[in-house]
Amino acid sequence: MNILVTGSTGTIGSLVVRGLAAQGAHVHALTRDPDKAAFPAGVTAVKGDMTDVASMRAALKQVDTLFLLNAVVADEVTQAIGTLSLAREAGIQRIVYLSVLNSDAYTDVPHFTGKYTVERMIEQYDLPATVLRPSYFMQNDAMLRDGLLQHGRYGMPIGDAGVAMADVRDIAEIAVASLLRRARASAPLPREVIEITGPDALTGAALAAIWSDVLGRPVTDGGKDLDAYEAFMAGVMPSWAAHDLRLMLGRFHADGMLGKPGAADRLTGLLGHAPRSYRDFAMELAKTWQAA
């Protein structure tokens, strides 16, 4: 059982690496710079880049299981489709792919429809894969620290339709369980899709109320001005990424981001505990801010 983890130094990838290592799996962690990466004992750092075919061929020859995670980058589809093609070439029959909730519906949001393109390849070639579709990450809200603490404002314009945010720890736990189940199986397992959401449909007003309670002071919500939000974000990230984010939020406003009926019960069964709540996350985050 040798598992290659892409995105191994990121928020979810690093949790997956640690979770697999704790279970005794032989983990190969793909990284552009092994000398700068810090992994648990026993994890093999593998130098590679998903835009470098030679390095990916070499990395995939050493493993029988693949965790495919792509950052939201301009060439995300090229990286993911190319890596899946190389995995097929290498005969890998155990795959877990990190997609996104509503990938099939948000066709106007570049990184959503890009991930669905990868899902379509998995479906067309009937690859033995688990496709994970997580909702918006709770941990993304750590970037709202200054607005919350200095201005009493929850700065993300989430809207009123409701977003069932997921904790990245729950996502990583399900990814680890899915990888180990496939890696330990005597034969390739059928393709499946797992939606990962949090327990609550969160609106801008609800999030502001949670933060008001947690911080013990009034907090206002992020409003709905997507023009202003895109303009602000374009000052801190590439304009294509800011526009992508704006389009995603537009779909949040129109349609929300909620799991199918029964999703929470299924997740509780997979996790062995209820999905983590946003309120608990906010309380933990506030404590780290206070300690700092």
Residues 167-197: tens digit of each pLDDT:
999 999 999 999 999 999 999 999 999 999 9
Neighbours of 240 (CB within 10 A): 12
Q: Which regions in the chain score pLDDT beneath 70?
A: none
How many residues in total does the chain contain?
292
Residue 291 has what pLDDT? 87
Domain carrying residue 48: 2-135+167-196
Least Cα distance to 254 among 153, 167, 157 occurs for: 157
Residue 292 has what pLDDT? 77
- How far separated are the first and last CA of the chain, in Å rounded? 40
Note whether 164 and 198 are within 8 A (CB): yes
Identify whether 290 is part of a domain: no
Identify whether 224 is part of a domain: no
Identify whether 201 is part of a domain: no
Residue 78 has what pLDDT? 96
Question: How many domains, in total, are found in the chain?
Answer: 1
Residue 222 has what pLDDT? 86
User: 136: number of CA atoms within 13 Å, CB side?
Assistant: 23
Residue 172 has what pLDDT? 98
Residue 149 has what pLDDT? 96
Identify whether 152 is part of a domain: no
Identify whether 175 is part of a domain: yes
Identify whether 31 is part of a domain: yes
Identify whether 208 is part of a domain: no
- What is the value of pTM for the model shown? 0.96
Residue 76 has what pLDDT? 94
CATH number at residue 32: 3.40.50.720
User: 118: number of CA atoms within 13 Å, CB side?
Assistant: 32
Identify whether 238 is part of a domain: no
Residue 57 has what pLDDT? 97
Structure tokens that stand for 204 in this block:
């801008």
